[in-house]
Every structure is written in structure tokens, then in C-alpha cells.
């Protein structure tokens, strides 16, 4: 697939990659979808800031990219700390020569409980990480995105089918992920005019990563005990997506192939919730 993308890119006059000379901050990129996203972005000529709370894994991802000839730097830290957000942008701008073109708001985890057992701590942590942090990142990004240099600017919010359709035991995650849709549309309406900033939401269904590994194991056992129910009955493609498939959509939306797409929510869910 990557060869095919290169072929099309060359035809469209992007011989150095779809994101050549760009700089991207990808949060939560030490593993899973974010790490794949970092790899695919670098393949397309982007320089990447690997942002994650897990310093060792973030360094590993950045080292591996550099070992393969790409440009990446790890800036580890906890996005729930305001000082880290400032540090992240300071280091990103330094690394990017004063420019930042793309932010992928991807970092996150789930902390599930049914409504009547959900504590304030459950609620506040998840809403902070999935809704407030992306807002703070975008606010901090303003000087780098409200520019008229004619270069592409993209803000991607990673959401979930739980945010679009709700999900039992995930009221905190569902509202925070749903909020991302409004965040995206507001950025598209404020920063599209005058600056050409595109903002889009990518909502995943079931993607195989650490986030889903434990839940999936539990579900599968239950299904087997229940007597051989067809796995993934709610997904028309009958399988989860891979981190590479998920990251490929993020790349597609950030790329010039999507240059007239803004304010949209793209579901990557194998057809689930149609």
C-alpha cells in the first residue's frame, strides 16, 4: 500500500512525500495507533515530535525512527500537567525551526464504570484527558496555526464510536470523545477562514492495541462460554482494525489528498454503527 501511495504522490508532484518539510506533534505516540502514526508520517517526509507520558517507550520510538533515517524527537511528559504542554510546544517549535503544521490529539486511556458507580475522579480524569487537554493543546498551538505562510495546517482529534454512539460503562469517555467533535468543528470554523487550517475528527471502533487487548480477552472468553457466538458480530467486516489501518486514515486526512476536507468526523470502524 505504501508503494501505491508513493506512486500516486509522485504523479501528483509530491516526490519527497505527502508531508515533506512538515512538523507534527503526535500525542500518545509511544505505542499503539500513535506510534504507527509517527512511523507513517515520517515515511511521508514529516518530522515528528513523539509526545507521551511513558518516557522510555517514547525514546524508543524516536530512536527507531532516527535509526531508519527519519527525523523525530521524544518529548515525554504528562499531558494533564499544564507545564508539560508549554514545554512540549517550546521543544516542538525548536525542533521544527519555529513551525508546527500538524497536531494529532491521540493520547488517552479508558477508565470505565457503570453510571451509578462512576466516581468524580473517573469522570474528571477522563474528561480532562480527552476533552480539556486537546483544547489546551490547540490554544497553545495558536501562534503556529494562525499564520498566513501558505503552508498546510492540520489538527486531528482522535475520537471513538463510543463518543458518536455512546457505550455502556463509558459515560466519561463517551462525553469527552463526543466533545471532540464540537472542538474540531469550532476550530474548522474559527481557523479555516483566513488561515486555511483544516480540523477533522477520526473516530475509531475496535482497533487492536494495548487499550483493547484486555477488554477483548474478556469479551472473547464470555463469547466462547456463551456457546460459539460469531466473533465481531457487530462489525460488518467481522474483524477489528490494526493500528496501521487506523494510522493510515490519520495520514490520509492530514495529507494533500484530503485538502478540501474540514470539520468532518470520519469513522474507522469496519462498518460498525452504520
Q: Which of 135, 128, 125 is nearest to 105 (CA)?
A: 135
Binding of residue 220 to ligand NAD (CB under 6 A): no
Q: Which is nearer to ligand NAD, 14 or 105 (CB)?
A: 105
Instruction: Report in angstroms how near the CB of residue 137 gets to ligand NAD at its nearest.
Output: 11
Residue 22-51 contact track with ligand NAD, rule CB under 6 A, x = bound:
------x-xxxxx-----------------
H-only helix segments in the chain: 2-11, 32-43, 55-67, 82-95, 120-127, 133-145, 161-165, 171-191, 210-225, 243-254
Binding of residue 82 to ligand NAD (CB under 6 A): no
- Going from the C-alpha of 6 to that of each of 20, 43, 86, 132, 158, the distances in angstroms are 12, 10, 35, 37, 25
Q: Which of 251, 253, 209 is nearest to 48 (CA)?
A: 251
Instruction: Report in angstroms how near the CB of residue 23 gets to ligand NAD at its nearest.
Output: 19
Contact 258, 252 (CB under 8 A): yes
Cβ-proximal residue to ligand NAD, closest one: 32
Among 19, 73, 156, 207, binds ligand NAD (CB under 6 A): 207
Name the DSSP class of 113. Answer: B
Cα separation, 231 vs 227, in Å, equals 11
Which of these ranges, 15-23, 115-123, 190-198, 205-213, lies near ligand NAD under the rule CB under 6 A? Answer: 205-213
Cα separation, 84 vs 235, in Å, equals 38
Among 44, 46, 52, 141, binds ligand NAD (CB under 6 A): 52
Q: Return the residues of window 91-110 that contact ligand NAD according to CB under 6 A.
A: 106-109
Residue 173 is a catalytic residue = yes
Q: Which is nearer to ligand NAD, 26 or 93 (CB)?
A: 26
Query: What does the CA dihedral 39, 45, 49, 52 come to, rounded to 10 degrees?
Result: -10
Binding of residue 210 to ligand NAD (CB under 6 A): yes
- Which residues are annotated as catalytic? 173
Q: What residues line the site for ligand NAD (CB under 6 A)?
A: 28, 30-34, 52-54, 78-80, 106-109, 129, 158, 160, 204, 206-207, 209-212
Amino acid at each position: 500500500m505504501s508503494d501505491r501511495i508513493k506512486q500516486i504522490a509522485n504523479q501528483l508532484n509530491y516526490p519527497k512525500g505527502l508531508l515533506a518539510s512538515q512538523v507534527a506533534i503526535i500525542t500518545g505516540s509511544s505505542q499503539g495507533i500513535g506510534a504507527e502514526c509517527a512511523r507513517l508520517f515520517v515515511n511521508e517526509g514529516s518530522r515528528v515530535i513523539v509526545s507521551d507520558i511513558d518516557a522510555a517507550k517514547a525514546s524508543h520510538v524516536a530512536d527507531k525512527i532516527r535509526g531508519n533515517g527519519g527525523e523525530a524527537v521524544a518529548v515525554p511528559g504528562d499531558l494533564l500537567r499544564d507545564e508539560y504542554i508549554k514545554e512540549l510546544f517550546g521543544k516542538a517549535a525548536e525542533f521544527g525551526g519555529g513551525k508546527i503544521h500538524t497536531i494529532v490529539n491521540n493520547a488517552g486511556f479508558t477508565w470505565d464504570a457503570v453510571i451509578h458507580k462512576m466516581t468524580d475522579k473517573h469522570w474528571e480524569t477522563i474528561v480532562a484527558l480527552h476533552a480539556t487537554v486537546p483544547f489546551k493543546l490547540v490554544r497553545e498551538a495558536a501562534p503556529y496555526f494562525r499564520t498566513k505562510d501558505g503552508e498546510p495546517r492540520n489538527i486531528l482529534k482522535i475520537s471513538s464510536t463510543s463518543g458518536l454512539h455512546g457505550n455502556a460503562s463509558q459515560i466519561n469517555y463517551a462525553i469527552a470523545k463526543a466533545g471532540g467533535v464540537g472542538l474540531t468543528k469550532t476550530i474548522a470554523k474559527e481557523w479555516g477562514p483566513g488561515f486555511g487550517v483544516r480540523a477533522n475528527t477520526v473516530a475509531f471502533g475496535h482497533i487492536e492495541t494495548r487499550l483493547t487487548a484486555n477488554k477483548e480477552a474478556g469479551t472473547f472468553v464470555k463469547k466462547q462460554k456463551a456457546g460459539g457466538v460469531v466473533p465481531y458480530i457487530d462489525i460488518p467486516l467481522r474483524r477489528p482494525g490494526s493500528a496501521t489501518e487506523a494510522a493510515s486514515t490519520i495520514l490520509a486526512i492530514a495529507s494533500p489528498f484530503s485538502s478540501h476536507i474540514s470539520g468532518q468526523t470520519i469513522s474507522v470502524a469496519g462498518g460498525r454503527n452504520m
